[in-house]
């Protein structure tokens, strides 16, 4: 057998170690241990490393939140990041705004089942339909909470904006955050006031570029049919691009894909600079050519990331990876 050790250009000596899982470990220690391993474990370790740098005060952090992250229990993580000054810009979906508001004003999501024993999934969903319960995989939401939300929008949000002419989506989410905060306190709701309230209280803009694709959007449209209330879908573009333009250093934390991911990343297309840091948590594969699974390296080709930007994509369920990455990064950042 020939000796190739002098011919290797890409190989370097860096042996795989072995992760530890011992009693008493902190989440930060576990993430550090992942750095000894390969595949997804090493990606998690790198995500923690990059995200902890993004938590520095001199980095303007854009946070993209897609999917059903609020109804599945990730609400408090995002709220706390906002309150602690770790999110400068939030881009999310109308669905997350809707579910966040429902909990702020007294509604709750509940543990459920995908397919109960003895029934097909279709039979189960037909029963839920008859009983007035909506299902998000294994999470239930009684439909009466939507009626509560609709009244909240009409009485506390839209009516306060209808004399302002065409308002931006960000102005609408700001007013929704204000209303959520005030009703939560006034009604002594046991649940925290949530993401939009935290953003309102801490002057963090919330952009929701596809808000029409949600109950929030449907209600806004219906209210506009009998009032002067209307929304200018382009008005937010100036504000968010100005934030990107003025940032000395910028980082993107992208949870899920879809519109929030693209809106966060495309913001840099009209800025002379691009993101210096980026972390993506997704389950979508890159080989379909879709935006949701596209690697952040691919985003570099578009000029959305700097050539020397630190970035990593983690392919796993974000309800698992988001708490792990955030907790470990915050632990490291606090030491």
Cβ pair 292, 257 in contact under 8 A: yes
Active site residue 261: no
SS (H, E, C) the chain: CCCCCCCCCCCCCCCCCCCCCCCCCCHHHHHHHHCCCCHHHHHHHHHHHHHHHHCCCCCEEEEEECCCCHHHHHHHHHHHHHHCCCCCEEEECHHHHHHHHHHHCCCCCEECCCCCCCCCHHHHHHHHHHHCEEEECCEEEECHHHHHHHHHHHHHHHHHHCCCCEEEHHHHHHHHHHHHHHHHHHCCCCCCCCHHHHHHHCCCCEECCCCCCCHHHHHHHHHHCCCCCEEECCCHHHHHHHHHHHCCCEEEEEECCHHHHHHHHHHHHHCCCCEEEEEEEECCCHHHCCCCCCCHHHHHHCCCEEEEEEEEEEECCHHHHHHHHHHHHHHHHHC
Start-to-end CA span in the chain (Å) = 50
CA dist 179 to 25, 173, 193, 335, Å? 41, 10, 10, 37
**Sheet strands side by side (includes 60-65):** 206-207, 89-92, 60-65, 250-255, 275-282, 305-315
Active site residues per annotation = 304
């Amino acid at each position: 057998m020939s000796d190739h050790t002098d011919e290797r250009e890409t190989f370097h000596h860096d042996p795989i170690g072995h992760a530890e899982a011992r009693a008493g470990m902190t989440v930060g220690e576990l993430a550090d241990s992942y750095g000894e391993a390969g595949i997804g474990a090493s990606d998690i370790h790198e995500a923690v490393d990059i995200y902890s740098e993004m938590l520095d005060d001199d980095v303007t952090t854009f946070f993209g939140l897609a999917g059903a992250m609020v109804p599945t229990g990730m609400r408090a993580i995002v709220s706390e990041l906002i309150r602690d000054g770790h999110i400068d810009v939030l881009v999310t979906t109308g669905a997350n705004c809707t579910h966040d508001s429902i909990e702020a004003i007294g509604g709750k999501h509940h543990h459920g089942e995908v397919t109960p024993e003895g029934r097909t999934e279709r039979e189960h969903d037909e029963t839920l339909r008859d009983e007035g319960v909506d299902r998000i995989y294994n999470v239930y939401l009684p439909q009466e909470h939507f009626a509560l939300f609709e009244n909240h929008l009409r009485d506390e949000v839209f009516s306060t904006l209808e004399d302002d002419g065409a308002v931006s989506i960000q102005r609408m989410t700001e007013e929704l955050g204000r209303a959520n905060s005030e009703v939560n306190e006034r009604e002594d709701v046991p649940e925290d006031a949530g993401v939009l309230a935290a953003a309102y209280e801490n002057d963090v803009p919330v952009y929701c570029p596809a808000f029409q694709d949600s109950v929030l959007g449907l209600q806004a449209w219906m209210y506009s049919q009998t009032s002067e209330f209307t929304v200018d879908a382009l008005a937010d573009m100036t504000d968010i691009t100005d934030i990107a333009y003025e940032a000395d250093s910028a980082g993107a934390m992208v949870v899920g894909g879809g519109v929030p991911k693209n809106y966060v990343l495309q913001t840099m297309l009209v800025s002379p600079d691009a993101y210096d840091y980026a972390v993506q948590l997704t389950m979508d594969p890159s080989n379909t050519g879709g935006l949701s699974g596209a690697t952040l390296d691919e985003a570099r080709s578009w000029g959305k990331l700097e050539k020397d930007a630190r970035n990593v994509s983690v392919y796993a369920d974000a309800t698992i990876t988001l708490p792990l990455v955030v907790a470990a990064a915050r632990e490291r950042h606090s030491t």
